[in-house]
Amino acid sequence: MGARLRPPRPRSATIRDVARSAGVSPATASRVLSASRHPVSERGRRRVLAAARRLGYIPNLLARSLLTRETAAIGVLVPDVSNPYYAGVLRGIEDAAGPARRTVILCNTDRDPAKLRWYLRALMERRVDGLVVAGGSFGRAETAITGGALPVVMIGRGPARLPSVRVDNVAAGAMATRHLLELGHRRIACLAGPAVSTTAADRVAGYRRALREAGLSAADEVVLEAGFTPTGVFALVDRLFARAPAPTALVAPNDLVAVAVVRALHEQGRRVPGDVSVVGFDDIPVASYVVPALTTVAVPTVALGRAAVEALLGLLAGRPAAPVVLPCELRVRESTSTLVEGRGSS
Amino acid sequence: MGARLRPPRPRSATIRDVARSAGVSPATASRVLSASRHPVSERGRRRVLAAARRLGYIPNLLARSLLTRETAAIGVLVPDVSNPYYAGVLRGIEDAAGPARRTVILCNTDRDPAKLRWYLRALMERRVDGLVVAGGSFGRAETAITGGALPVVMIGRGPARLPSVRVDNVAAGAMATRHLLELGHRRIACLAGPAVSTTAADRVAGYRRALREAGLSAADEVVLEAGFTPTGVFALVDRLFARAPAPTALVAPNDLVAVAVVRALHEQGRRVPGDVSVVGFDDIPVASYVVPALTTVAVPTVALGRAAVEALLGLLAGRPAAPVVLPCELRVRESTSTLVEGRGSS
DNA sequence: TTGTATGCGTTATCAC
DNA sequence: GTGATAACGCATACAA
C-alpha cells in the first residue's frame, strides 16, 4: 500500500473522476480538458465537458507542471511595493502577465541581500518559468544561484550579461539638472538616493555631467545622500541651507523626497519656486496635484514593467532579448522657475 | 516506455540523484532534506547534505505539494496595487507571509468581476492554501467558486460568513465629519468613492450619521460620487462650488483625491483651510508632506494586510478566525481649521 | 535506522 | 478516434 495521508483538505474531483463520470478514459478526458491538439470525437468532447462542469472539476496545475516542466508563473523581486515607483512597475508587470495567462509571485526584498537570496531560492523551488528583478543588488552571487537555468529580465541596470529593461538614468539626471541650468541656476544641490541603488548613482552621474557641460567645476557639486524615502530629509535640508552660499535649486532623488523637500523649505520660510527650485523624478500619481505641482522627469514605470514581462515571454519562446531603453520625459510644472537676479549671484 | 518529452528546460538534480551521490536510498535523502521527524543517522545526514550541496539540489515544491496537498502559497486579490492604499495592504501581507514561509501570488482585479473570477480560478488551479481578498466585489458567486473548500479572509467587508479584517469605515466617516462639525462647519460636502465599494459606502454612511447626530437634516447632506482616483475631481469641485451656498468643508473619499481637491480649490483661488477645510482618509505616505499637510483619518493599511495573513494562517492551523476590527485614528494637520464667522453663515 | 514500493494528478507515448 | 500505461519528483507506510 502506498502513501495514505490524512488529507488536510478535501480532495477535489480529478480528471479520473471526470473520465469515469463521462464514460471515457482519463486520456480522452485529458485531451479535451487540456486543449490538446489530439483529435477527439464531438460526442466525447461534449460528454467530458458536461461531466467536468457537473463535478466542478478544477485542473491541478501542480500535476500538470510536474510533467510539462512549465508553471506559467513568473517571480517578481522588488525592493518595496509600497513605494509608488515599484507599485507602478508591478502594475505593468501584472498587466502584461495576465493576458499571457501567467501568474505573478511577488517578493519584497527590502534591498536586503539575504532576503533576496532566500526568495530567489523559494522561487526556484516553485520552478517559476522566469524572473523579473527590479531594484538592483542582483549580482554575481545571485546569478550563480539561478545557475543560468532561469530566464531573468532586469528592470534597471544589473549584471551586464542579463537582459534588461530600463531608462537612461544618467540622461534623466542630466535632463533635470540642465533644466535648472537653463533657468539660470548655478548653485544646484543634488540629493542622492541610497548608495546601493544604481538608479540613484546614475542620476547623480547625470547631474555631474550636466554641471560639467555647463562649465562648472567639481567644486560646484553639492551631493548629499538622502535615500528614496522622506526619512531624514528635513535635517538634510536644514544642513544644506545652513551653509553659505545656499543653493538656489535642488535635484531630489525622486518625487516622494521632492515633496518632502518642498515642505521642509516651506517650513524654513523659503518659497518654491520663488526662492528655491526643486525637481524630482518618476512623476508619481500625486506629483501633478500637489501645490506647487512638481516639475519632474517622468519615468514610465508601468511601461517598464510591461516591457520586462514581454521580454521575458520572448525569452521563454526562444527569442533572444535585446536590451530595452525607454525614454524619460521632463515635465515642467510649478516647482521650478527662472533664477531671480540678485539672489542667485555669489 | 513512458513519457519522453522534449525537456523545455534542463532537468535539475532530483532527490534520487542526491541519494545516489550520497550512497543512500531516496527515502533517507528525503527525510534529511524535507526536515522530516523520522530519525536519520548523523553520518547519513551529513552525506546527504554534502551531496545536495555538491549537486546544487533544489527541491521541487510542485512534486512535494502534489503529495502533501499544501502549496505554502497564498493568493491575494486586490483592485489595484498602484493605489497607495492597496500598496500598503500588500506590503503588510508580504511582511507577514515571508516569515511564515509562504509566498504571495498577486492578482489585480481592477474591480472587474470577470477578471476576479478568472483569477480566482487560476489560484484554485494552483491549489493555493488560502486567499486574502481586498476591495470587495467578492460576493456569493465567488464564494460558490471556491466552494467553501478554500480558506478566505476578506480585508474590508465581504459576504457575512467570511472572516474579515477591517476598519470601521462608518466610524471613520463619522470621525472625519465630526471633526469638521466641531470646528464649526455646517455646510459640509462629501465626495463618495466608487459606488461598488463598501468602504466608500460606509464612509458616506458615517458622514450622514454625524450630520444627523449634530442635528442637521437630510437637506444638509451633499454627496457626490467621485471615485478613489483624482480623475474628474476638478470638474466635480467646480460643480460643487458653483451652487450657492457653497460648502465650507469637504470630506474626500481618500487622501489621493483630497490632494487633488486641495489643488482644485487652489486653482479656484480658494484657500485651504482658510476658505475650505478638507479631510481625507488613509494617511498615505505623502499626506504629511504636502502643503497644507492633510488632516486625515489614518487607516492602518499595513496592519490590515498583516492581520489578514495572520488570520489566514490561523485558519490553516485549524483555529477559527474571529473578525478583526482595527482602529482608525484622526490625524489633525493643516488642511482643516475653525470656520471663520461671516463666511460660513447662510 | 534504512530501504522498497506506492501514489499524489496529470499528460505523452504507444498500441489498438 | 480511443484506451492502457508510464513517468514527472517527492514523501510516506511498511517491511527489514
What pLDDT was estimated at residue A346?
41
What pLDDT was estimated at residue B88?
95
Q: Which nucleotide is nearest to B38 (CA to C1')?
A: C1
By residue count, chain A amounts to 346
How close, in Å, is residue A286 to chain B by CA atoms?
A: 7
What pLDDT was estimated at residue B9?
62
Contacting residues of B for A229, CB less than 8 Å apart: 285
What pLDDT was estimated at residue B340?
78
pLDDT, tens digit (0-9, with 9 covering 90-100), for B185-235? 999 999 999 998 899 999 999 999 999 999 999 999 999 999 999 999 999
The reply to whether B105 touches chain A by the CB within 8 Å rule is yes
Å between B103 CA and C11 C1'?
Answer: 27
Residues 48-77 of chain B with CB under 8 A from chain A are: 56, 58-63, 65-71, 73, 76
Q: Say which residue, B73 or B3, is predicted with more confidence.
A: B73
Residue B3 clears pLDDT 50, i.e. is over it: no
Contacting residues of A for B69, CB less than 8 Å apart: 5, 7-9, 11
Q: Give the angle subtended at the CA of B333 by the CAs of B330 and B335, to the nearest 5°.
A: 105
Å between A21 CA and D3 C1'?
Answer: 16
Contacting residues of A for B315, CB less than 8 Å apart: none
Å between A5 CA and D14 C1'?
Answer: 14
As ranges, strand C nucleotides with an atom below 7 A of a protein CB are 1-14
Residues 291-310 of chain A with CB under 8 A from chain B are: 291, 293, 302
Å between A4 CA and C7 C1'?
Answer: 9
* Cell digits of residue A70: 512549465
Å between B237 CA and C1 C1'?
Answer: 77
Handedness of CA A86, A87, A92, A94 (dihedral sign): positive
pTM for the whole thing? 0.91
10-residue mean pLDDT series, chain A (346 residues): 43 93 96 92 96 96 95 95 93 96 94 91 96 83 77 90 94 98 97 93 98 96 95 95 92 97 97 97 96 98 98 93 96 95 49
Residue B90 clears pLDDT 70, i.e. is over it: yes
Nearest to A14 by CA among A26, A4, A5: A26
Bridge partner residues of B225 (DSSP)? B192
What pLDDT was estimated at residue B70?
95
Instruction: Answer for B318: CB within 7 Å of strand D.
Output: no
Q: Which nucleotide is nearest to A27 (CA to C1')?
A: D3
What pLDDT was estimated at residue A144?
73
pLDDT, tens digit (0-9, with 9 covering 90-100), for B99-123? 999 999 999 998 888 999 999 999 9
What pLDDT was estimated at residue A4?
34
What is the pLDDT of chain B when averaged over all its residues?
92
What type of residue sits at position B69? R
What pLDDT was estimated at residue A342?
56
Q: Say which residue, B226 or B158, is predicted with more confidence.
A: B226
What type of residue sits at position B310? E
What pLDDT was estimated at residue B4?
31
* Cell digits of residue B172: 471613520
- Residue ranges of alpha helices (H) inside A98-232 are 113-125, 140-146, 169-182, 198-213
Residue B10 clears pLDDT 80, i.e. is over it: no
Q: What is the dihedral of CA B282, B166, A85, B235, to 10 degrees?
A: -50
Q: Which nucleotide is nearest to B31 (CA to C1')?
A: D11
What type of residue sits at position A216? L
- Give the 3-state secondary structure of residue A30: helix
As ranges, strand D nucleotides with an atom below 7 A of a protein CB are 1-14
Contacting residues of B for A58, CB less than 8 Å apart: 121, 124-125
